[in-house]
Amino acid sequence: MPPRQRGPAQALRDPPPPQRLQGIKDTALNQTASKPHDRLAAALAAEMEAVNAVIRDRMASRHAPRIPEVTAHLVDAGGKRLRPMLTLAAAKLLGSGDERAVKLAATVEFIHTATLLHDDVVDESTKRRGRPTANLLWDNKSSVLVGDYLLARAFQLMTECGSLEVVTTLANASAVISEGEVLQLTAAQSLATGTEIYLNVIRGKTAALFSAACEVGGMVAGATPAQQAALFAYGDALGVAFQMADDLLDYGGTAAIGKNIGDDFRERKLTLPVILAVEKADATERAFWARVIEKGDQREGDLEEALRLMQSHGTLEATRLEAHAWADKARAALSDLPEHPLRDILGDVANYVVARLS
Amino acid sequence: MPPRQRGPAQALRDPPPPQRLQGIKDTALNQTASKPHDRLAAALAAEMEAVNAVIRDRMASRHAPRIPEVTAHLVDAGGKRLRPMLTLAAAKLLGSGDERAVKLAATVEFIHTATLLHDDVVDESTKRRGRPTANLLWDNKSSVLVGDYLLARAFQLMTECGSLEVVTTLANASAVISEGEVLQLTAAQSLATGTEIYLNVIRGKTAALFSAACEVGGMVAGATPAQQAALFAYGDALGVAFQMADDLLDYGGTAAIGKNIGDDFRERKLTLPVILAVEKADATERAFWARVIEKGDQREGDLEEALRLMQSHGTLEATRLEAHAWADKARAALSDLPEHPLRDILGDVANYVVARLS
């Protein structure tokens, strides 16, 4: 992750006090911030510091020091922290950046981290099939149990906000997330998987936590029902656009074959470009997809053939357009929210997730 | 599990209507119920039917039919259902057996089932080390994700009771459960594990959900703070007694060596009989424990030697007495609750968990 930058963020209503930026290199300060994610980080720098403090505090375990050991690399490494920033931005653009928004932002990050830990178990199992080292097994145990611990901590933290509505929203998101992951297990590798199932899977994978993150931020800031619906719609559409873009980039976007592409193909995951190609397949093409996806019998040149089929049916381009349509939907949802520099940045974030596709 | 029996249960204030018992064999009806668990089941038969209906309903998944497949054998097989019965009993003896108690009982069973699913992953990893079949891997994935789903459903269900206090109590219990399990990972196989750590581990393993199950049942029945504390204390002490008894029975109780004993020894788990023996060990004995537990270098005759050491230091008897003391504590806590036939049965349940030890 690039260092936080200032620039347009200086125009925001509540710029972080200068001392918050002491750790940041001068070169970073002198650059004009371009990526909307960095502008979001700059606009929410003070709040994110508070979120990080809550995360460090609540991640600790009095009895089991292994817990922070396991989570530290995940949480400290940080990732992009987009989800907690969505919560903070939603609360702040509705006029509230109080302690409850900070706690909910940390809650959202805990849920995300727990999901990553459990995904590790699910993914490692297949990738390292046949060679379960003691280390792998230890990791599996720790991943499952520490993930459970983070989830429990998340529910403790969210109850502190004193809103059952918030708890219900995040519990619902958790159910959609795990349901989507189970669905992916069963839907994967079956050509019967259509776009409806795909949408459910990516809502579980990405959009459910994005929408809940936005929604609960609004809830503690006293959003009206219409504003809450707008925040949900924004997060949902942003998450769908984000995941569709990711799935398209796995095939190199609309461009030709590059390096490191085709991971989903090799793992026989049915993502939108393939689903659309299967829908348009003739008998020969269907036999090809059945062999490489359903049977997993993949040979030299199959990825290239898959790409050729997707290009001939225009499914990469169709996926790109679909992702753009969802990004448009995300931006449109923002119009029901008050004017605010953060609202503009959120709109730019929606643009950005699909801008990398063209 | 033996069939439910009647008998003393007929004296209860709210005996189940006769049609509830249609499925039960006449022989069962004619027996006098002896085990307190069966009397509890008989006294709560109508409520438990409602709990089972909620479980079946909420376990379903519109999108992912694999979920009920995985949970069905766990939930339908049933186990003893002691935890949900604790919730129902707590609510009913305080005068309320309403829909909320039923939902919370189902919630408690969901949390328990999720824990079992995640334990499977943790346990299977060691037991089947070195031979990860595709089936095992599939099970691991399903166990992790379906466990997550049940946990999310549990939190959805508990929020429907409209009490943040209830959510906080169950979130706290979830944190203690997972913390205890992580602690067991790290504390296992280290002779430094003392009785304090052991208590934390068994609270996570058993007592935390017992106490929360009792407490939330009281909460929705309008328990006073003193009654809530009594319910917590009862469930906590019952859970500790229950787990200590289990750990002692793994070494055959106070009796001599039997069959199927020593599983904990072979898995190098430090339970109370061993912990107390390590505390009293001389240098030679300590070297023995270090070899068999810390290094895991176990040879023919080691279990017998371990039993001899535990018997010579009286640690099996000390564990039995300790379990009895916790059962006494559980019974004593009940005195702060109103007189009620269910209160008497709960007292008998506490007796019963340690009665099998002598």
State the amino acid at position A39 in one-letter form. R
Distance CA A238, CA B210 (A): 42
| Chain A with chain B: Cβ pairs closer than 8 A | 164
Q: What is the distance, to the nearest Å, from the Cα of residue B243 to the centroid of all Cα atoms in its chain?
A: 7
pLDDT of the residue at A141: 78
Q: Provide CB contacts within 8 A for B193, sequence distance 6+.
A: B187, B270, B275
Q: Is the separation of the CB atoms in A2 and A38 below 8 Å?
A: yes
Distance CA A41, CA B112 (A): 40
- A156 inside 8 A of chain B by CB: yes
Q: Provide CB contacts within 8 A for B173, sequence distance 6+.
A: B111, B208, B209, B211, B212
Are B171 and A162 an interchain contact pair (Cβ–Cβ within 8 Å)?
no
**A116, A124, A143, A155: best mutation site toward chain B, by most B Cβ within 10 Å?**
A155
For the record, the structure tokens of B337 come out as 């609750």
**B115, B139, B144: best mutation site toward chain A, by most A Cβ within 10 Å?**
B144
DSSP for residue A130: T
What does the pLDDT look like over A12-45, one tens digit per residue?
333 333 333 333 333 333 334 578 999 999 999 9
pLDDT of the residue at B181: 86
Distance CA B153, CA B151 (A): 5
How many CB atoms are closer than 10 A to CB A297? 10
> A229 to chain B, minimum CA–CA distance in Å?
20
Q: Is the separation of the CB atoms in B239 and B209 below 8 Å?
A: yes
In this prediction, residues A317-332 reach a mean pLDDT of 97
Taking the domains of chain B in order of start, what are their residue ranges?
A: 35-254+316-355
Across the interface, of A145, A152, A179, the residue whose CB is closest to B122 is A145
Distance CA B233, CA B333 (A): 6
pLDDT of the residue at A78: 55
CATH of domain B35-254+316-355: 1.10.600.10
Residue of A nearest to B60 (CA): A179
DSSP B33-88: P-SHHHHHHHHTHHHHHHHHHHHHHHH--SS-THHHHHHHHHHHH-TT-HHHHHHH
Residue of B nearest to A186 (CA): B66
Residue of B nearest to A176 (CA): B149
Distance CA A211, CA A86 (A): 9
Confidence of residue A207 (pLDDT cuts 50, 70, 90): very high
Q: Is the separation of the CB atoms in B137 and A149 below 8 Å?
A: no
pLDDT of the residue at A337: 97
For the record, the structure tokens of B129 come out as 């080390």
Surface of A (253-282) touching B: CB under 8 A: none
Distance CA B64, CA A213 (A): 24
Q: Residue A6: is its pLDDT beyond 50?
A: no
* Backbone phi and psi for residue A118, each to the nearest 5 degrees, phi listed first: -75, -30
pLDDT of the residue at B76: 61
Q: Which chain A residues are Cβ-neighbours of B267 within 8 angstroms?
A: none
- A145 inside 8 A of chain B by CB: yes
Place of tokens 């002491």: A22
Residue of B nearest to A136 (CA): B125
> B142 to chain A, minimum CA–CA distance in Å?
7
- B203 inside 8 A of chain A by CB: no
How many CB atoms are closer than 10 A to CB B285? 17
In this prediction, residues A291-299 reach a mean pLDDT of 94
Q: Which residue has the higher pLDDT, B60 or A326?
A: A326
Per-residue pLDDT in tens (0 to 9) along chain B, 358 residues? 333 333 333 333 333 333 333 333 333 333 345 789 999 999 999 999 999 999 888 887 766 777 777 666 666 655 679 999 999 999 999 998 789 999 999 999 999 989 988 887 766 544 433 444 334 545 677 888 889 999 999 999 999 999 999 999 999 999 999 988 888 877 778 898 899 999 999 999 999 999 999 999 999 999 999 999 999 999 999 999 999 999 999 998 544 444 468 888 988 889 999 999 999 999 999 999 999 999 999 999 999 999 999 999 999 999 999 999 999 999 999 999 999 999 999 999 999 999 878 6
- A168 inside 8 A of chain B by CB: yes
DSSP for residue A35: S
- B200 inside 8 A of chain A by CB: yes
What does the pLDDT look like over A150-177, one tens digit per residue?
999 999 999 999 999 999 999 999 999 9
- A151 inside 8 A of chain B by CB: yes
Q: Which chain B residues are Cβ-neighbours of A66 within 8 angstroms?
A: 182, 185-186
Residue of A nearest to B197 (CA): A63
> B100 to chain A, minimum CA–CA distance in Å?
15
Distance CA B194, CA B198 (A): 6
HSE-CB for B219 with a 13 A CA cutoff: 23
Q: Residue A255: is its pLDDT beyond 70?
A: no
ipTM score for this prediction: 0.82
Helix A164-187 / helix A195-202 crossing angle, nearest 10 deg: 130
Across the interface, of B118, B140, B149, the residue whose CB is closest to A178 is B149
A134 by DSSP, 3-state: which?
helix
Distance CA B44, CA B103 (A): 14
**A111, A131, A148: best mutation site toward chain B, by most B Cβ within 10 Å?**
A148
Are B67 and A153 an interchain contact pair (Cβ–Cβ within 8 Å)?
no
Q: Provide CB contacts within 8 A for B164, sequence distance 6+.
A: A159, A162, A164, A167
Least Cα distance to A88 among A42, A56, A33 occurs for A42
